[in-house]
Amino acid sequence: MKRKDAVCQELKRLTLSLKRETLTDTIGFNAETIGFNLGLARNSVSKELNQLCAERLVIKIKSRPVLFLHRAVTEQLLDTTLSSQSLLEVKTLAELLPVNEPASTACDDPFHALIGYDRSLKLAVEKGKAAVLYPGGLHVLLTGPSGVGKTFFAEIMHQFASQQQRSTVPLIYFNCAEYSHNPELLSSHLFGHKQGAFTGASESKRGLIEQADGGFLLLDEVHRLPYEGQEKLFSILDKGEYRPLGSSEKACSIGVRLICATTESPDSTLLRTFLRRIQVAITIPALRERSLEEQVEIIIGFIQLESRKIDRTIRLDKGLLLYLLEKPLAGNIGQLKSDIQFLCAQAWASGMGNPLQNPMLVLDKRLTESHVSASASSRLLVDGLFGQNEFIDINSLPFAQLKQHLIALSSEQDSDLFYTYLTREYVNLRNSNVPPQETLSILRNKLRTIFEYGLYSQNTGGSDERYYGGQIEQRITLLTGCIEQVLGFPLPQNMVSHLRKHFLALLSYVQKGLIPNLYSNSLILDYCKDEYDNATKLCQKINEIFHIQCPTTEIVYLCLFLKECRSFRQRKDVNPDCGVMLIGHGSTTASSMANYVNRVLECELFTAIDMPFEQSVHDTLELLISEVREKRYQRLVLIVDIGSLVHFASTVNKLFHIEVLLIQNITLASLLEIGLDLTYETSEFAQLMSLMKSKGIPYHLCNQHEEETGKVLVISCITGMGTAVKIKKVLEDSFDTLMSEDTRLIVVDYNEVRSMERLRVAIGGNERLVGIVGTFQPGLPDIPFISLEELFSEQGPELVFSLLTPDLSNADRQLEMERSAMRFISALTLESIINHISVLNPQRILQEMEGVLHVICRNLDIHPTRQVTLRFLIHCCCMVERIVLSHKPLQIALGVHQDLDQQVFSVIKQAFSPIEQAYSIRLSDAEYFYIYELLYR
């Protein structure tokens, strides 16, 4: 391919990356950018571009520097065809457009007038719109330091509301500081007054609230409003009503929305009863808290306003822009605007604005009163904006492409974290007068973390990567091959992608002269010093391939990179039979930590189980058991944070008969250490425990040889110890066969249960608390609790069962559950029957009714729930005694029931036949019908 064709193809690729809305007067690509991408000299590329322009294949924009666009692509973007007579050498792209076709269309959304509406102010804008659009509107509190633009934001909200209603709504401004020491005058000003309301009130007067009806009342400096004044607004905030001063008539309805603005902390200056009536709180950030891109937009926007005012182009010096970006601004945007106006006034007064001497107003460093050191990030952004120029010209025409250009510059700077960090941190440390040796020490401590974060935490997918083509890509590929030759193995794709981004950033920084000369042997970390010779040779290769003077700082990076590649190659795959699971309190705690470490290690090592606040310990244990059962682990490394989760290890050990290595009180740092040991060292427990011990990470091994610890279930009721004793007896009768010799049920006073320290007195040193059954939740973290409502519900027996025997196998668990549940129902039924039956023997009638139910269930093949079983037994026992005492059954006309199953009815009658004979009674059809309903409805 000829050189001219390569230049044309590269310009076409670059122009295709643009969008119609970014095609404005001063956008395009210079010869230096194209030459850099293709690896060609700038003057050679410039010669080819001028030839292509003469051939009418490209558009030439005569700015400084000269910019070019591919003609065919530009015509597609503008949806127009340039005539054959059109000159393709123009000062601005607008010259090529038809007169009736603007280059861009203005947006109708008033909020788009806010710089940062889609970035730092995005949440504020969303809240502001919501407050306006909600039917009837919502009251708003604007907070933020002085000068951030709270009043301007309120005016934008007013414009948005007027636009939505298609009519101008009122906006009334009131500064609360004016009447802060005169409550009566304040009331008169806000609410108005009637004639004669006070001395001097010769006529009635409308208040500001009435004037703002249907719109907004802006209360600036609302923190200066006295408490009495805040309380007087309650009727408006609550009911939308007010009463003028001196009026005894019915309160007037009003439709006004308050916008309150304050520079103070609302919690310390406003009544809580006032604050809770304000539905929307919006915080406007300070100027220096906003991004550098937004600060540049604001500065240029103010300069454009001055340019429009004086009808003169303003030339802005690079050094002055850096000064405005770094100068302390206690007054934020308001102070910035005043400072820019004063700078323009100084330039005008000194004769710089004399149209005969200079048609431009020049703002340069001569106007600054002091020197301010620019940060690396500011210099990078401003250098990218100015290019090779020392100034930019600003007039009243909008900089339509400024925002996109600044965002693009910002993302380009952050593409390689290694050099972004070095330049920014080094300049900050040196400006802070930190001694050189201490600077190196600080950088050394942070370098590995920054390197690993840049290598693993950024998205290295190729879908959104910019492709440069030509010689530069070939040279990067050649250099990557040299690195693979040094390593002795091919690099994985993610490493290749990261390396490519790094070299592109290196070239860009070298070209701009931004890499600090801070190389020192002490910066090379001890663990990778053995790569020094290889890194030095590769730096020489970089010099040869790219024809640059490679900074010695690159040796530090290459030492880290080569060592990491070798470590990556030596990784040991964890045995699939060994599970590694992390459980943590919180909705995302465990998953966030596991995802981070998995991403750093580039393997799915950790499986996470989150335990949200509303999730019980039992449910969390079930999730763990289900995971271990599904994966069929033969060993398990169980990592937990705090609380009773530590007992999960022994449960899993007993249930699955596998070794469980428990690591508790986990932090992100120790989790990363464990991950590195499992990945690079070993997954054998003996060696792993030795590593844990050497690093001071506590652990505990649960195996079959571990001694048993006793279990304690506490029963406590706020109604008194008597109730708790009865519940204890019911549980012992129901679950006695399941409880081992080391399991105890104890009754504890409710006041003692609320403190873990007091509970420990009742629990032995070798025992652990498995749960509490009681009236109210005692509030002890991680201690399973069963309320009385849950205990007597359908799931009651299963909940108790899970506390006492969590380590039974599935088959044994199901069998024992059925037996225990039936005993539990019998025990509860007997307790209830004793309270209701006074003549018959409670135990005998209960056994007989259980036999009746068994016959019915067997013959009809039904399986009633525990609740139905409980109701059946209590109802039937009480029914028999009632008939025995009254000598007659229930007699009620039933009518005709079409859906009554006669066969079922007959089975129920036959089942009760022995009861009728034993007690010499006769059951009526009404009695049988209620029993039928109880079982089937």
**pLDDT, tens digit (0-9, with 9 covering 90-100), for 283-306:** 999 999 888 888 999 999 999 888
DSSP 207-263: -HHHHTTTSEEEEETGGGS-HHHHHHTHHHHHHSEE--BT--SPPEE---EEEEEES
Query: Which residue do the tokens 């007597």 mark?
Result: 792
Mean pLDDT of 341-370: 77
Whether 464 shows a pLDDT value over 60: the answer reads: no
pLDDT of residue 672: 84
- Model confidence at 463, pLDDT cuts 50, 70, 90, reads very low
pLDDT of residue 143: 95
Mean pLDDT of 274-280: 91
- Model confidence at 834, pLDDT cuts 50, 70, 90, reads low
- Condensed to tens digits (0 to 9), the pLDDT of residues 450-462 reads 565 555 544 444 4
Nearest to 7 by CA among 58, 56, 65, 72: 58
CA distance 146 to 148: 6
Q: Which of 102-111, 273-282, 686-695 has the lowest mean pLDDT?
A: 102-111
Mean pLDDT of 3-25: 77
CA distance 301 to 318: 16
pLDDT of residue 520: 56
- Work out the mean pLDDT of the chain and round it to a whole number: 79
pLDDT of residue 106: 41
pLDDT of residue 460: 42
- Condensed to tens digits (0 to 9), the pLDDT of residues 3-12 reads 888 889 888 8
pLDDT of residue 647: 74
Q: Which of 95-109, 175-189, 561-575, 753-767 has the lowest mean pLDDT?
A: 95-109
pLDDT of residue 448: 56
CA distance 24 to 178: 48
pLDDT of residue 129: 93
Mean pLDDT of 532-553: 85
- Condensed to tens digits (0 to 9), the pLDDT of residues 650-685 reads 778 878 888 899 888 888 888 888 888 887 777 788
Whether 412 shows a pLDDT value over 50: the answer reads: no
The answer to whether residues 154 and 207 touch, using CB atoms and an 8 Å cutoff, is: no
Q: H helices within 657-753, ranges in order?
A: 668-676, 685-694, 721-735, 750-753
- Condensed to tens digits (0 to 9), the pLDDT of residues 366-389 reads 887 666 666 656 776 776 677 667
pLDDT of residue 911: 93
- Model confidence at 100, pLDDT cuts 50, 70, 90, reads very low
Q: H helices within 523-610, ranges in order?
A: 532-546, 553-569, 589-601
- Model confidence at 261, pLDDT cuts 50, 70, 90, reads very high
- Condensed to tens digits (0 to 9), the pLDDT of residues 571-606 reads 555 567 888 999 988 888 888 888 888 877 767 888
CA distance 447 to 557: 9
Q: Which of 74-83, 90-99, 201-210 has the lowest mean pLDDT?
A: 90-99
b or e along 125-145 (b: 16 or more beta carbons within 10 Å of the residue's beta carbon)? bebbbebbeeeebbbbbbbbb
pLDDT of residue 710: 77
Q: Of the residues 585, 647, 705, 897, which is catalytic?
A: 585
b or e along 190-210 (b: 16 or more beta carbons within 10 Å of the residue's beta carbon)? bbbbbeebeeeeeeebebbbb
The answer to whether residues 682 and 688 touch, using CB atoms and an 8 Å cutoff, is: yes
The reply to whether 585 belongs to the active site is: yes
| 96-110, 201-215, 419-433: range with highest mean pLDDT | 201-215
37 vs 327, residue with greater confidence? 327
CA distance 666 to 698: 9
pLDDT of residue 193: 85
- Condensed to tens digits (0 to 9), the pLDDT of residues 386-410 reads 766 788 888 766 554 565 555 555 5
Q: Is 221 left (phi over 0), alpha (psi -120 to 50) or beta?
A: left
